[in-house]
Amino acid sequence: MPPRPHASQLSFLRSLLFTATLLYALCPTPYALSPKLYAQNPTPYALSPKPFVVMLSMDGYRWDYPEQCHTPNLDRIADRGVKAHSIQSAFPSKTFPNHYTMATGLYPDNHGIVQNSFYDPETSRKYAIRDRDAVEDPSFYGGEPIWVTAEKNGITSASFFWVGSEAPIKGIQPTYWKKYDHNFPFENRIDTVIYWLNLPEEKRPRLVMWYFDEPDGIGHTEGPHGEATFQMVAYLDSLLGVFLDKLEQLPHAHEINVIVTSDHGMGINTPDKHICLKHYIETDWFREIEGWNPNFIFKVKENYYDTAWQALQAIPHVSVWKHGEVPERLNYGRNPRTRDFILVADSAWQVSLTGRHSNSAGAHGYDPFKKDMHAIFYAKGLAFKQGYVHPTFENIHLYPLICEILGIEPAPIDGHIDYVKEMLRP
């Protein structure tokens, strides 16, 4: 998401880390005692007749943060379950397009959330992530999110801030859902998810999708290699430990499959690599220009089409394509919402319309085949193998993975279970 003010001072993060570590230390059921769970379940590797899936997305959690930081609780999941080398974002590697791809198994071009903000020519309306009316309008959202599939199959679902869950898509929302509140504490999100999972069986959700907005925010302001970013990663891992310990205290913990993943990675930005579009184009050539570093889409006035195209092609350190001519590997640029021209900056380059620097040290939205745009994937539970490392896979395959675990038929999608079935137990 675009850079925003954040309490990123090192002293503040250290105090958060200390608090989370203290909570973890005081938890009455530490990880060392968790094998008793298997004693209660003599066939731990058999799939539960009523499996659960709880998927947490930590925004902007780059694939290699666990290699650069101490993350014992992600290691804990990997030891007991599965991790992937990385998970590859869809293009553009932005928050809203990718969270909705993770929910639907469709590329952004096919589900319609083509950027964090865009203009829809069919309805003459604009979608923007901070526009409450737009976010709650189901007409913007194509495809079938996993919670809709679950609810249609009689499975109770819950969402804590997942993109799309605030709109009644196909007339259906999760049984439990929350209106987005950026300042809602992470610790309270944990408590709410545990509360949902501890409801009476007839009310208990078997699918929970929930979201943390970090380490994306700190990654933008401090960069992917900043000390404050690593402090945030350590803090989040401590919170993950608190969640896992509370989860393992539930009497049906052995039925719960946990997935921890992210929407995209984070690349490095520096002030010396900056492109101002107004140095190359005139804004009055266009009807609309939508986007934010490093992605823009353009609707050109018809009489300026050739002029605008030639000017955009002359901009250094960017790739620009006409509608319908984006490379096939990106699966993008045919949806009417992508307009006439699509532009993305090269890795590490910033691009802005006016030349105003964002003062960010990190960004995402770049070509998802670049490794710094990749994110994490960890999972454990009865559905997953133990101690297994899976090759990199695309996030379109998360939807069929969840359907397979829950035993429900997927809607038509771009993903396929064959790409991830090797991480599952036979």
- Both ends of the chain: CA-CA distance in Å? 38
Active-site residue, 104 included: no
- What is the Cα–Cα distance from 90 to 290, expressed in whole angstroms? 19
> Which secondary-structure segment (H or E) carries 125?
strand 125-128
Give the residue ranges of DSSP H helices in 27-173: 36-40, 65-68, 72-80, 95-104, 108-111, 132-135, 146-152
DSSP state of 250: S
CB 390 within 8 A of CB 380: no
Q: Name beta bridge partners: 286.
A: 300
Catalytic residue among 29, 43, 71, 95: 95
Q: Name beta bridge partners: 178.
A: 160
In the block, residue with structure tokens 């997942």:
162
- Sequential DSSP letters for 357-423: ----SEE--S-TTSGGG-B-EEEESTTB-SSEEEPPEEGGGHHHHHHHHHT-PPPS-S--GGGTGGG
CB 291 within 8 A of CB 111: no
> Which secondary-structure segment (H or E) carries 22?
helix 10-26
* Residues marked as catalytic: 95
